[in-house]
Amino acid sequence: MPIAANDHVKQWMNIQPMTISKHHTLRESLLLLSKTADKELPVVEDGQMLGVVTLQDCVEYLDSNNGTFSILRTEFRAVSDDFSLKENTNGGGPFYVLHEKTGALEGIVGRDEIMAYYEHVREREAEAQKTIEWLKLSFDTAYEGVAIVDDKGIVQLFNETYSRFVGVTRKEAIGRPVEKVIENTRLPVVLKTGVPERNQPHRLQGQELVVHRLPIWQDGKVIGAVGMLVYEGTSEIQQVLQRMELLHTAEKQSGKETVEKPVKQGRVHFEDIIGESPAIAKAKKISRKAAQTKATVLLTGETGAGKEPFARVIHDMGTRSNSPFIALNCAAIPDSLLESELFGYMKGAFTGTRNEGKPGKIELANGGTLFLDEIGDMPLATQAKILRVLQEKEVDRVGGTQPIPVDFRLIAATNKDLQKQIQEEKFRQDLFYRLHVMPLHIPPLRQRKQDIPLIIAHQLPKLSEIYETNEKTIDKEVLQLMFRYDWPGNVRELLNVLEQMFHLCDGDHIQVKDLPESFTEQPVGEANVLGSLSEWQERKHKQEQKYEQKHIEHVLEEVNGNKSEAAKRLGISRATLYNKLSRFS
Q: What is the pLDDT of residue 266?
A: 63
Residue 3 lies in a domain: no
Q: What is the pLDDT of residue 537?
A: 47
Residue 129 lies in a domain: no
Residue 241 lies in a domain: no
Rounded Cα–Cα distance for residues 297 and 411 (Å): 5
Residue 543 lies in a domain: yes
Identify the CATH number of the domain in which residue 400 sits: 3.40.50.300
Q: Give how many domains the chain has, as a whole number.
A: 4
Q: What is the pLDDT of residue 92?
A: 64
Residues 435 and 483 in one domain: no
Residue 2 lies in a domain: no
Under-50 pLDDT residues of the chain? 1-5, 254-265, 522-537
Q: What is the pLDDT of residue 268?
A: 80
Residues 492 and 438 in one domain: no
Does the model's pTM come out above 0.85? no
Residues 415 and 320 in one domain: yes
Give 21-78 as a DSSP string. Answer: -TT-BHHHHHHHHTTSSSSEEEEEETTEEEEEEEHHHHHHTTTS--BGGGG-B----E
Q: What is the pLDDT of residue 232?
A: 64
Residues 60 and 29 in one domain: yes
Identify the CATH number of the domain in which residue 196 sits: 3.30.450.20
- Residue 41's domain spans which residues? 9-117
Residues 421 and 454 in one domain: no
3-state SS track over 116-152: HHHHHHHHHHHHHHHHHHHHHHHHHHCCCCEEEEECC
Q: 425 φ, ψ to 5°? A: 60, 40
Burial 55-94 (b: 16+ CB within 10 A, else e): bebbeeeeeeeebbeebeeeebeebeeebebeebeeeebb
Q: What is the pLDDT of residue 253?
A: 53
Consecutive H or E run containing 197: strand 197-204
* Cβ neighbourhood burial of 174 (10 Å; 0-12, 13-18, 19+): middle
Strands (E), 346-479: 358-359, 369-373, 394-395, 404-405, 409-414, 438-441, 473-474
Rounded to a whole number, what is the largest CA-CA distance in the chain? 136
Q: What is the pLDDT of residue 123?
A: 85
Residues 185 and 303 in one domain: no
User: Of 203, 232, 261, which closes a domain?
Assistant: 232
- The DSSP output letter for 209 is E
